[in-house]
Amino acid sequence: MRLAISAVVAAAFALPASAAVIDLSTLNAVGSAQYVDGGLQLTQATDVSHPSGVAGAGWLTQSISTSQSFSTTFSFSLKGNDSGKMADGIALAFQNIGNNVTGTGGGDVGYWNLGDQGAAAVGSVILTWHTNDYGLSTNGVVQGLKDAPFNLGAANYVTGSETVSYNALTHELTMTGTFLDRSTNTSYAVSDARIVNLSEKFGGTMYVGFTGGTGGTDADQRITAFSLTSAVPEPESYAMLLAGLGLVGCASRRRKAK
């Protein structure tokens, strides 16, 4: 009987997860962010930067559950104007404030102080300029990250992708990805992992999106692709699971009746 139940559960959870490629034009653009040439341009490589900081953000208009496992993948492009080191960086961010907020610009890349609420975000940060750090942040700050494998700011043109996944049972947040130094055409693998309980931090739901910031130096920083995958069974999977368990229960009752 145990084997039969295990087989039914395995069959139900083996079904494909729900995946959605996000149309970047549907994100709610805030601050300096805008939809340009198929991508979400968070900041521009022009003279719009300011020493006090410029910030842009783009958010999914609908919140997602914090109690379910998920995975999100995005591609990015960071391009300076070749006048020196580009600045300042971007972040994939999770927060429960709203879909129309941004944070402090410059080196805080619009990730810190979202909606004037300080350490509000969890996410994956990439810092250029002379900081050259990357990694997962669980408290809204951009300090204490990992050293980048090359000088991101001096490269002046970096592309890449990241996959950030959350396990709702173990509360582990993981990141894997690839950074490409376009000045040398050299690629580097990156990864990080942290423990954070998103339900405890945000409540039942949260918003997902991207932030970027510049200061005295700027860059064209944009998200070029974005997808979100639910790692939990769809309603059809649950139906299969319940139906299967029902059949197992019927078989058990018949054995007892005999």
- Residue written as tokens 């890349």? 109
Show the low-confidence residues of the chain (pLDDT under 70): 1-19, 47-52, 231-258
Q: Contact, 230 vs 18, CB < 8 A?
A: yes
Enter the CATH code of domain 18-231: 2.60.120.200
Structure tokens at 125: 């940060």
Identify the pLDDT of residue 18. 60
Q: Contact, 55 vs 91, CB < 8 A?
A: no
Exposed/middle/buried for residue 87 (C-beta within 10 Å: 0-12, 13-18, 19+): buried
Residue range(s) in the chain whose domain bears CATH number 2.60.120.200: 18-231
Identify the pLDDT of residue 221. 97
Note the pLDDT tens digit of each residue in 59-83: 999 999 999 999 999 999 999 987 7
pTM: 0.82
Q: Is 225 helix (H, G, I), strand (E, B) or coil?
A: strand
Identify the pLDDT of residue 170. 98
